[in-house]
């Protein structure tokens, strides 16, 4: 079993819902926290949804530095934005500074570059200007796609939105964001989308209609519809170390493991309570999955045997909806412990915690 101990607690002022640790090797002591705040006077029962079309939503992106050796965390930059629903760092850099994509409540994707300790916006794109109330709900990078007519400097971004659509975009440093195409995937909110990390042509999408889809992005053709989930599909993880492993989370409170070669039924599943918003694989390949269990806690699941996922650690420091979580990416294999960052919504609380084997 694992012991998870809080080291630092911060107040994000706005409701917090997203954590992403920078993967750039020169900046992996930095992470961002995204927030989602209704303007005073709006319906304060609205969470991450599009059900109230006229509620103005604002947000911030906080950039933090965490020094695990000196054991300190500090805010180094804060950007005022529209409400943030998801963020992802570009996993490849060449000679460039770190790049962050952010999905917001104005239906936009914004691209920021980390210059020293400042996030500077370098591109933005409104997914569908026809709709005033469109929220971009999730985004995912893929740097492996080799589509025709695009050079090797082009990166690709997948986005899901509150109308149930999926969009494929390209990004270059010179030309910024460009929309390639989009298609209707779900009859309600498309909560999540993800590239298959091993097959450049396949993407996964999950929606509030309870369905998990697999699409071939060359034709936007659905190649599989999975009906294993009893409620909305809210998160997806194509495992970066296990080629045929796909993990899903749902409002039905179950984490499911699928073999992508045969997806009619899950390999295994576990009820983690409270619904699942995010799944993150550990940076040291220890078969650990950090899980944001919305109305319960943050849990760590061991998937050494995908047919029998097991809870090996729980973090109960948050008293509101557990949305954002990620592992510290400056871990080293000789270390005996890991670190995580977590955040929760209405209590606008951010925590840094250590993760280590429990002492007997």
Whole-Å CA distances, 330 to 21, 53, 67, 285? 9, 41, 10, 13
pLDDT at 336: 76
Q: What is the pLDDT of residue 245?
A: 98
State the pLDDT confidence band at 359, using cuts at 50, 70 and 90: confident
- Alpha carbon distances (Å) from 182 to 143, 167, 306: 19, 4, 33
| C-alpha–C-alpha distance, residues 347 and 343, integer Å | 9
Q: Is the pLDDT of residue 240 over 70?
A: yes
pLDDT digits 0-9 by tens, 89-106? 998 776 689 999 999 999
**Residue 135: DSSP 8-state:** -
Residue 138 Cα distances to 68, 89, 254, 262, 358, angstroms: 29, 13, 20, 26, 35
Find the distance separating the first CA and the last CA of the chain, reported in whole Å: 10
CATH dotted code for 13-39+56-281: 2.130.10.10
- Residue-range domain boundaries for the chain: 13-39+56-281
Task: State phi, psi for 150 to the nearest 5 degrees.
Answer: -125, 135
What is the secondary structure of 161-227 as a DSSP string?
ETTSEEEEEEEETTTEEEEEEEEE--SS---EEEE-SS-TTEEEEE-TTS-EEEEETTTTEEEEEE-
Which tokens hold the place of 288?
């650990």
Q: Which two tokens stand for residue 275?
A: 């619904």
Task: Provide the pLDDT for residue 132.
Answer: 84
d(C-alpha 351, C-alpha 207), whole Å = 29
Tell me what pLDDT residue 44 has: 45
The answer to whether residue 342 scores a pLDDT higher than 50 is yes
Q: Model pTM?
A: 0.94
Name the more confident of 169 and 25: 169
| 335 vs 268: which has the higher pLDDT | 268
The percent of residues in the chain predicted with pLDDT above 70, rounded, is 92
């Amino acid at each position: 079993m694992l012991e998870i101990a809080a080291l630092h607690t911060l107040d994000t002022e706005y409701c917090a819902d997203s954590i992403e640790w920078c993967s750039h090797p020169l900046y992996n002591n930095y992470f961002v926290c995204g927030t989602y705040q209704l303007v005073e006077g709006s319906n304060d029962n609205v969470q991450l949804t599009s059900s109230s079309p006229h509620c103005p939503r604002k947000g911030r992106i906080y950039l933090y530095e965490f020094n695990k050796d000196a054991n300190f965390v500090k805010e180094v930059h804060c950007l005022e934005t529209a409400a943030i629903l998801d963020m992802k760092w570009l996993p490849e850099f060449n000679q460039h500074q770190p790049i962050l994509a952010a999905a917001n409540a104005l239906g936009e994707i914004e691209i920021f570059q980390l210059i020293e300790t400042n996030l500077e916006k370098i591109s933005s794109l409104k997914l569908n200007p026809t709709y005033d109330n469109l929220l971009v709900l999730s985004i995912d990078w893929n740097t492996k796609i080799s589509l025709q007519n695009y050079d090797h400097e082009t990166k690709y971004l997948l986005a899901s939105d509150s109308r149930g659509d999926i969009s494929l975009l390209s990004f270059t440093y010179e030309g910024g964001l460009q929309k390639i195409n989009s298609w209707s995937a779900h009859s309600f909110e498309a909560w999540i989308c993800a590239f298959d990390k091993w097959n450049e042509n396949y993407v996964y999408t999950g929606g509030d209609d309870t369905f998990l889809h697999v699409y071939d992005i060359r034709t936007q053709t659905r190649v599989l519809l999975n009906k294993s989930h009893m409620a909305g599909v809210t998160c997806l993880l194509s495992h970066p170390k296990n080629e045929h492993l796909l993990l899903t989370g749902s409002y039905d409170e179950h984490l499911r493991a699928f073999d992508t070669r045969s997806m009619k039924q899950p390999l295994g599943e576990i009820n983690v309570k409270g619904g699942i918003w995010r799944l993150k694989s550990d940076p040291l390949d220890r078969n650990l999955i950090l899980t944001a269990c919305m109305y319960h806690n943050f849990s760590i699941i061991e998937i050494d045997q995908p047919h029998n996922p097991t809870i090996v650690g729980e973090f109960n420091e948050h008293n509101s909806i557990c949305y954002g979580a990620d592992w510290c990416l400056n871990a080293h294999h000789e270390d005996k412990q890991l670190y995580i960052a977590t955040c929760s919504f209405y209590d606008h609380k951010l925590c840094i915690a250590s993760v280590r084997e429990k002492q007997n």
